Each structure stands twice: as C-alpha cells, then as structure tokens.
Structure 1
Amino acid sequence: MLARQTLVRAATRASAAAAAPQQARNMATLREIELRLKSVRNIEKITKSMKMIASTKLAKAQRAMNAGKEYGLANSEVFEHVTDTTGGTKLFIVVSSDKGLCGGIHSSVSKATRRALANSPESPLEHDKSVDPASPLVVIGDKSKQQLLRAAGDNLRLTFNQIGRDIPTFADAAAVADLIIRSGVKYDSVVLIYNKFVSAISYAPAAIQVKGEEALKASDAFKTYENEDDATKDLAEFSLANAIFAALTEGHACEQSARRNAMDSASKNATDMIASLQMQYNRGRQAAITNELVDIITGASAL
C-alpha cells in the first residue's frame, strides 16, 4: 500500500513538472499577444486621428484648388494664340511634396517623368514624342527628388523643399518661378508634371506645357501688338508662376485626399488585426485555463 502511494505521488510530480514548461510557454505566448494587441490599438488611434486631420485639410485644399484652377484657365487663354511648336529644349518641373504616408502620390509623378524623358507611349505628353532624355529637371518636394536621383540624377538642376507644408500660396509659386529664371537654365518651354485631382478617391498624373519668352515673341497674335521686350518677359514669368501655382494647389489636394484614404485603409486593417489577435488571445487563454483544470482534476483523482 505504501509503495503504491509512493508511485502515485511520483507520477503526480512528474506530470506537474512536465506541465510547468507548457504552462510557461502558454503564458509567454499570451503575454506576447497582449503586447501586440496594445501596440496595434495604439496604431489604430493614431491612424484614425490622422484620417480626421486629413479630412479637415482636404476641405481647405479643395477650396484652394478651385481658386488655383482659375490661374490655370487664365494661362490656357494666353497660350491659345501662341504657335504650338513641339521642338526646342524643355524644362521639366515635377510637383510633389516632402511628406509621406499618402500612398503612391509621389511615385506617380516620378514614373510619369521617367516615361516622358524616355518618350514612352504612356508618357503624359501625348502629342510630343521628341523629348531629349537629357532635358533639365526641377523637382519640388524631397520625396520625388529621392526617387528621381537614381533614374535622372544628371538632369537635376534645382530642387525645392518646405513648399506646400500648408496650403500653397501664389507667393510660393512666384518664388519658385523667380529662382528658376535666375538660375540661368536654358529652355524653350516648361512642362509641369503634377497629380490631377479626379475625385476624392482617385488622382492621375498629368502634364501642362507653358511656352517661353521666345515662343511668345514669335507668335503672330503677339506681333499684332507693339509690346516691349520687358512686357513679354514679364508675361512669360507671370504665366510660369500661374501654372506652378495651379499645379501646387491641385497636387496638394491630391496629397490630402490620398493621405485620408491611406489612413482609412490603415485603420480598417488595424481593426481587422485587433479582432484576429483578440480571438487568438481568447483561445490561448481558454486553452491555458483548460490545461490547469485538467492538472487539478488529475491530481485530485490521483490523491
């Protein structure tokens, strides 16, 4: 009888010793899941806050975009009477920004620029396939600058940052145009590549072309009037600033729209992950409790 009790106690201790590492592993796994749940919940709070902020900024950006489009319409009326020449040196201005977390808004204009320089069939310059691959390049925004440095680093002439941190103003566009003209870069026309606002959930890369001073002078419509050289020069500079301002405001609206959509998708993904982790945690906790009950019942039965 004594020997039998001794064997039972030894078996109970052995089973308890074997169960202890398993329980420790379960507790460690549950702790890891709990920490991950906490981390994902914090991320969800951040993405929801960023979505709300982007939604507020989008409304302001759309109002600024509508005002900026008026400048673009004025430009198109000016260049309606200018002879359309596809030749000459083109200066490419890529309109982007310095901030991330907004989907593919920056890679969109970078890809469009590379296609234009390569005279690709998918180039935004649909009617002009005579672009020199060594055309000078000006980039507004650090994100697109980093992407284009690898593909067209030798083409870069000027880069700008800290523009468009808030809603772009005409003063920003005028400063960019003034620095481009003062830099001494030679060009016959300017091509602005930017993101066109299609709707609140979509955008597309687009290009607008601005003729230079020589094209204005050569136009028959402008020769009709006896304009001084300074007037034509000022008109060309003002038209460039107008086009940059219109592209900046529309690109800013696309950025805010893309950021809101990106944060919305991130919030939904975080919610799905929280539900999955919570179910995994509940199952693990239930399994650990079941194992403990089994050990208690087994020990009580043995005694």
Structure 2
Amino acid sequence: MSMLARAASRPSLVRVAPVVGAAPAAARNMATLREIELRLKSVRNIEKITKSMKMIASTKLARAQRAMTFAKSYGIANTSIYEHSEAEKTETEGKKKKLFIVISSDRGLCGGIHSSVSKATRREIENDEDSTVVVLGDKSKAQLSRQLPGKIALTFNQIGKDIPTFADAAVIADQIVKSGIEYDSVSLVYNKFVSAISYEAAVIEVFSEETLKNSPNFRVYEMEDDVTRDLSEFALANAIYATLVEGHASEQSSRRNAMDNASKNAGEMINSLTMQYNRGRQAAITNELVDIITGASAL
C-alpha cells in the first residue's frame, strides 16, 4: 500500500482552538469535590465542638439545679417578710420611682435567653418614664443600651462565670445602695427556671426601706432606723442571689439545648454534604471511564 493510501486511511485530526477562560470538565469536578471535602471537614469540627459544649453544659446544669434548690430558701424568706408585714398593700398613690435590675450574663451561645429578659424589661417600663435600670451582664447591657438610652444607671459584669454566691449578690446590693439611686420599689427581671428544657421571663418585686416602715404590721414594733435599713438591704441581696442562681440554671439549660440543636443540624448537613460528595465523585469517575472507553474505541 502506498504512503498516500495509508495517509488517507488515518482519521483526520482537526485542531480545535481552546476557549479562553474555560477549564476542563475533570478539573471543574475536582474543584467542586475539593470544596465539598473542605466544607465536610469544617462541619465535622463544628459538630465536635458543639457536642463537647453540650456535655459541659449538662454537667454544669446539674450543679446549677442543686444550687438553685438551696438558693430558693432566700427568696422564700423575702416573701414571708412581705406577707407578714403587708408591705404589698401600702403602695403610695401617684407615680412611684421604680428600679429595674436585669439579671443576665456575659456569655453567649445559649439561645435567646438574654433577649428574653431584655424584652420583658422593655414591656415593664414601656409606660413608666420615671424608672431606672441596673443591668447585670454584658449581653443584656448591649441590647438595652440601644433600646433604653439614658435609663441605665449601673452595670455589672464578670458575674455568673461559675455558680453565683451570696457574696456576689451582697456586693451588687451594696453598690446599688451606695450609688444613691432613689426608688420606692425594686423589680428584678430574670429567667425563671421551669424545667430542663424551658424557661420564662419573670419579675419579682422587692420593697424599699420606706415601704417596710409604713407597712401596717411593721409599725407595731419600735425599731431603730438602722434595723429597718439593714433588713431592706438584706432582703435586696436575698432577692438578687435567688434570681442570679435561677437565671444561671436557666442559662445552662438553654445552652445545652442550643448545643444539642446545633449538633443535630451539623449532623444533617454532614449527611447532605456526604451524599453530594459521593454523587460528584461517582460522576467524575463515570466521565473518566467514558473518556477512556471513547479513546479505546477510536484506536
């Protein structure tokens, strides 16, 4: 066979100009698979963190519930004083100066627990212009500073890293008394522990020294002013301590539930990305096989 005939029997090769900016299909698939693989690694790391935080919150919740059971006796003591003195029935007519103490914390990743007390505070003082706010915790402080400018008199932080103690509550009550804030009653806005999976914003009231003096059953006894003042400060510290501990238990419960939900969401995302990765990998292998078979058929 002549060289001309052999040349004619060969398939003609046509030079195709590459499209500027276009990547091969295999390269595009590999880039996509690489991105999915990186996302999978990131989500798995997040899942490990959220599971660890859930375990830590569960341990802290058990301790916080035990402390809350012990601290409730302080709140019961205050309630007993007000019921026997009938202080609740001697409210002065007209406008009263109210002091709102918002019980929050400095830490996040616990759902909407801080927004709960902030919203309750706004509802309470919506129709009360003559009121002052004291905030415990940086989270609610950041929220209320934008919504209630000019009403915040004192703020406290670094409270509630661990289970609050009565010493913490006594320091807060002492600073409030020394600040010179005038008030007829104190309302503490906090998160009430309902169960291990739920909480609700609640408000309890603590009466001032003057209110205790003017109560019917309190005037029966002749007491020095220092005794009534000390009792009023002690009642305020009692209430702050009881609400701090209960708010701490609610925070740990909310954090555990939030981390549990985050872990479940991460697991669902891992399953979805794994399926997407396997489908992309199978598609890439299929394309490579098609290229190999096509090349072999051409030869």
Bucket of the pairwise TM-score, normalised by the shorter protein: over 0.9
Distance 2:296 2:269 in 1: 41
Report what 1:102 is aligned to: 110
Taking structure 2 as the reference length, the TM-score comes to: 0.93
Report what 1:295 is aligned to: 291
Distance 1:261 1:177 in 2: 32
**Ranges in structure 1 where 5+ consecutive residues have no aligned partner:** 120-131
The alpha-carbon deviation at position 10 of structure 1 amounts to: 4.4
Aligned: 1:233 with 2:237: no
Structure-to-structure mapping, 1:182-197, within 5 angstroms: 182-197=178-193
Amino acid at match of 1:75: N
**Ranges in structure 2 where 5+ consecutive residues have no aligned partner:** 1-5
Distance 2:67 2:252 in 1: 12
Distance 1:101 1:255 in 2: 10
Report what 1:56 is aligned to: 59
The alpha-carbon deviation at position 211 of structure 1 amounts to: 0.3
Amino acid at match of 1:83: A
Structure-to-structure mapping, 1:27-42, within 5 angstroms: 27-42=30-45
How many residues are aligned here?
Answer: 288
Report what 2:126 is aligned to: 118
Distance 1:289 1:146 in 2: 53
Deviations 1:50-106 (A, max 9, x none): 000000000000011111111000000011123322752110000000000000000
Aligned: 1:89 with 2:85: no
The answer to which structure has the higher helix fraction is 1
Amino acid at match of 2:144: L
Is the CA contact 1:134–1:155 (under 8 Å) kept in the aligned structure 2? no
The alpha-carbon deviation at position 219 of structure 1 amounts to: 1.0
Query: SS of the residue aligned with 1:251?
Result: helix
Query: SS of the residue aligned with 1:43?
Result: helix
Distance 2:261 2:66 in 1: 25
Distance 1:218-1:257 versus aligned 2 partners, 3 A rule: same
Taking structure 1 as the reference length, the TM-score comes to: 0.91
Question: How much identity, in percent, do the aligned residues show?
Answer: 70
Which protein shows a greater Rg? 2
Report what 1:248 is aligned to: 244
Distance 2:217 2:144 in 1: 38
Is the CA contact 1:95–1:248 (under 8 Å) kept in the aligned structure 2? yes
Amino acid at match of 1:112: A
